Structure 1
Amino acid sequence: MTVDTIVYSADGRTPWEDPAAARDADGTTWVRVVDPPADALDEVADAYDIHPLEIEDALGNVRPKVEEFDDHTFVLVKDATLRRGDVTFAEELRVLQTAFFLGDDWLVTVEPQRVEAIETVWERVNREEPRLASRGADFTAYRCIDHVVDDYFSILDDIEDDIEAVEDEVVDAAGGDVLERINDLRRDLLSVRRLLWPTREAVGVLARGDPVQISEDTEKYYRDVYDHLVQLVELVETYRDLTSGARDIYLNALSMSTNDVMKKLTVVATVILPLTFVAGVYGMNFGGSPVNMPELGWQYGYPAVMVGMGAMAGILLVYFRQENWL
């Protein structure tokens, strides 16, 4: 577990050893807690009046949400990155739950591991970026959440590439693994959709400026993040439609291929059927009676039957060709 505390203002950035004492310092306080054990946040929670149930949610696995308290707002989002490999999507989608406790002039973030999106903003604060120093804790939280949402676009870009590859395989009449890949993509999109919908609802609360900790000047930035999430949800729905269309195309192509095979087999069976009938009739070798087949005693009977059967098969094939059945 690591606990880093800085106080930043227009005069610069100052690191603090004691997170509790930093709350009363002049400027904006940011306490960043990374990889905390379950019982290691008591000191920070007591110093910033964070309820134990909030800590439980921050360390658990709950859906993104926003909860308002008397002196702070609790925001829970999930950072997601896509790791490529020969594993299932559930293992490839690396989700890290990140908690924000937002006060009037302080911010506490809790990360199960170092989240790249938070790390980026943290480095900018350490570089004393004036824009962050002058906007306060709510703007810093916005920058972190904005970077988290931007990572979602990268995930959907990767999924879009997979969809395009599958669509090409469907057109090229690929093997039977195409349907499995399409179903995998649909499950991928469902996982992303379950991540995006609650995140959009949570950011919507911030975009409306419901928490008192969100200043009027910062609301428009949260509205921008909300617009990005709306766009992401629409992309997910569009990609789901594309995968459904690709699946329908594949199943139709498979059905047409099966019908083509059945048509050819039916033509073969239809051609052979009358030949089998003729062979069966002349296979009844009744003799010794004037009412039996006279051809049985004809010396050209066998060649005549074979020629007749060949002619019959040829006529059927020509007819099938004219009807575009072949």
Structure 2
Amino acid sequence: MISALVYREGEITQYETDALDAARDASGTTWVRATDEGDFAAVADAFGIHPLSLEDVRNDVRPKTEEYDEYTFVLVRTAMLRKGDQNFEEEVGTRPVGFCFGDDWVVTLTRRDIPAVNSVWGAVERKDPRILRFGPDFTASRVIDRIVDNYFELLDEVGDEIETIEEGIFESPDKDVLQDLNAVRRDLLSFRKTVWPTREAVSVLARGDPDYVRESTEKYYRDVYDHLVELVDLTETYRDLARGARDMYLNTLSQSTNEVMKTLTVVATIILPLTLVVGIYGMNFDPGASAYNMPELGWEFGYPATMVGMAAVTGILLVYFRREGWL
């Protein structure tokens, strides 16, 4: 689980796991990659890495940059949407990547294979060994830049999800839409907890504060820092969009409720006068006791006239409500 590359005079030499001392002592620029916690101790002994650096990678602390006497330590995190992967504890899955680089060596510490690290490693091994020629600090900057580029892909996915949710709000504002929206908001909050401290860590490198970051490499870290600033702005923008989509959902739901209430009000208003008529003629007055006790009950056309009157009231109300735009 340990691999080593040494660049010297335009050529790359690969060392086996049991040749760490030879890789460390070889002339040129050395890159050691450890992808298992069990190998951290061997790498630390070979290159004098402080146990606190190993502990930070194991515990997955927030991204940061620290200066030691023999090397500079940088911790960043990869980020990807969880999508049902139970290995991730948060909405956005993160994995730590530790960098230790000195005068002529760089060590990457991960708990498993990381695509961004493997991508740059493959480029050095097969295509462009000159990456190591520019020094260990430059090599670390290329890996960090690749990790940050993947952040943009994550935000693109989140942006697509927000667009899909907005379309769903207009089509069918049901509970599933609200659940998806809440999931996106959690994704953005979780990603924000990664990108903000990463920006702070890279800003230290961009200023050239650590002793092992050369002036010629600062501009590359400044470029990565600019990308992180853009990512922070995009994250806040997407959070605003998600917040706006939530307000849109609530407004659409409220409007739908108002339409239902308006329909029920129209129905109740139409039934009210009919109920009044039925209630009046439901009173038990005896027409034979007095000439004033509902004399129309003895009228030959009393029942048809009542029904026609009730139908006329219903028709008048329907015409009125249609003119007012309630129907």
Structures share fold, TM-score greater than 0.5: yes
Deviates more, 1:144-153 or 1:173-182: 173-182
Aligned to 2:300: 299
Counterpart CA distance in 2 for 1:294 and 1:285 is: 13
Aligned to 1:134: 133
Aligned to 1:239: 238
Alignment of 1:36-115 (within 5 A): 36-37=37-38, 40-82=39-81, 84=83, 93-115=92-114
- Structure 2: 5+ residue stretches without partners: none
Check whether the contact 2:173–2:253 (CA below 8 A) recurs between aligned residues. no
Check whether the contact 1:28–1:106 (CA below 8 A) recurs between aligned residues. yes
Counterpart CA distance in 1 for 2:47 and 2:276 is: 95
Check whether the contact 1:10–1:133 (CA below 8 A) recurs between aligned residues. no
Counterpart CA distance in 1 for 2:86 and 2:318 is: 52
Sort the Cα spacing of 1:156 and 1:80 in 2 relative to 1 into closer, same or farther, 3 A.
Answer: same
Residue 289, structure 1, aligned to residue 290, structure 2: yes
Sort the Cα spacing of 1:169 and 1:86 in 2 relative to 1 into closer, same or farther, 3 A.
Answer: farther
Aligned to 1:188: 187
Counterpart CA distance in 2 for 1:206 and 1:294 is: 101
Check whether the contact 1:12–1:128 (CA below 8 A) recurs between aligned residues. no
Shift of 1:44: 2.4
Counterpart CA distance in 2 for 1:155 and 1:214 is: 29
Check whether the contact 1:34–1:112 (CA below 8 A) recurs between aligned residues. yes
Check whether the contact 1:285–1:296 (CA below 8 A) recurs between aligned residues. no
Q: How many residues align?
A: 323
Aligned to 2:323: 322
Matched residues, percent identical?
58
Deviations 1:171-199 (A, max 9, x none): 22343311111111111111111111111
Q: Secondary structure at the match of 1:209?
A: coil
Shift of 1:128: 6.3
Q: Secondary structure at the match of 1:107?
A: strand
Counterpart CA distance in 1 for 2:272 and 2:86 is: 53
Counterpart CA distance in 2 for 1:192 and 1:246 is: 19
Check whether the contact 2:195–2:232 (CA below 8 A) recurs between aligned residues. yes
Counterpart CA distance in 2 for 1:299 and 1:89 is: 83
* RMSD, aligned CA: 2.1
Counterpart CA distance in 1 for 2:280 and 2:10 is: 109
TM-score normalised by length of structure 1: 0.92
Counterpart CA distance in 2 for 1:88 and 1:41 is: 21
Counterpart CA distance in 2 for 1:105 and 1:261 is: 73
Amino acid at match of 1:19: L
Alignment of 1:193-204 (within 5 A): 193-204=192-203
Check whether the contact 2:91–2:190 (CA below 8 A) recurs between aligned residues. no
Amino acid at match of 1:230: V
Residue 20, structure 1, aligned to residue 18, structure 2: no
Check whether the contact 1:13–1:128 (CA below 8 A) recurs between aligned residues. no
Q: Secondary structure at the match of 1:77?
A: strand
Sort the Cα spacing of 1:128 and 1:245 in 2 relative to 1 into closer, same or farther, 3 A.
Answer: closer
**Structure 1 segments of 4+ aligned residues over 6 angstroms from their partners:** 86-89
Counterpart CA distance in 2 for 1:228 and 1:10 is: 33
Shift of 1:261: 0.8
Counterpart CA distance in 1 for 2:260 and 2:309 is: 28
Shift of 1:302: 1.2
Sort the Cα spacing of 1:10 and 1:324 in 2 relative to 1 into closer, same or farther, 3 A.
Answer: same
Check whether the contact 1:65–1:202 (CA below 8 A) recurs between aligned residues. yes
Shift of 1:255: 0.9
- Structure 1: 5+ residue stretches without partners: none
Deviations 1:194-221 (A, max 9, x none): 1111111111111111111111111010
Shift of 1:48: 2.1
Counterpart CA distance in 2 for 1:128 and 1:273 is: 84
Counterpart CA distance in 1 for 2:275 and 2:85 is: 55
Amino acid at match of 1:307: V
Q: Secondary structure at the match of 1:112?
A: coil
